[in-house]
Chain A
Amino acid sequence: MTLLSIAFICAGVFFLLMGAIGLLRFPDFYTRMHAAGKCDTLGILLVFIGLALYGGLNLSSVKILSIGLFIFVTSPTATHAIARSAFKNEMPIWTKEEN
């Protein structure tokens, strides 16, 4: 069970790191948001599943999974709200240069 939780936590940290690199390197606001929203949700969910498996079946792990469920609902909602606010303000969209 400990090895399984280590595998889950390592996968989650990998996704968090890739999301951070995407947030750093992408050229446009919308592409950055694409990297930040999805990688963060999946990474944090995998880390929480790993921590709950490490703790075993008790009240703490149920609470950790409920926080994970909350983030699974709210993080895409927040990302959608920010992207909608940017799109309504006519933020320019990055296109490939023709040259």
Chain B
Amino acid sequence: MHAFFIGISLVILFSVLLCLYRVLRGPVIIDRIVGVNVIGTKTIAVILLTGYIFGRVEFFIDIAFVYALINFIGTIAFAKYFDRKGVKHEGAAR
């Protein structure tokens, strides 16, 4: 079961790599925000799997909960900010 959790963590980290391409290359700033939100959601799962790998889940659960809160509030704050400021979108639909 230990090796299974490590393998699952590696697969999730590979999908984080795919999202990182969207964060780096995204044509519009909002694409980057979506990519960061998705990466944060995947990170919560990786934190819990790390807790199961090291055998002390009860500490890592609180870290995962705080990470979920910060991810949500950060995304909402960015959405409100670009709602006010406006977004440049030349070449958004490629």
Contact = CB atoms under 8 A, between A and B. Distances in A.
A42 to B, nearest CB: 11
Interface residues of B, number: 48
Contact of A74 (B35, B42, B72): B72
Given A24-B21, A55-B57, A85-B82, 6 more contacts: A10-B8, A17-B14, A24-B18, A51-B48, A71-B68, A91-B89
Contact of B61 (A27, A67, A92): A67
A60 to B, nearest CB: 5
29 contacts: A16-B15, A16-B45, A19-B15, A23-B19, A23-B22, A29-B93, A32-B22, A44-B45, A47-B48, A51-B48, A63-B61, A63-B65, A67-B65, A67-B68, A70-B65, A71-B41, A75-B37, A78-B75, A78-B79, A81-B76, A81-B79, A82-B34, A82-B37, A82-B79, A86-B28, A89-B86, A89-B89, A91-B28, A94-B93
Q: Report whether over half of chain B's contact residues are helix, strand or loop; otherwise say mixed.
A: helix
B33 A44 contact: no
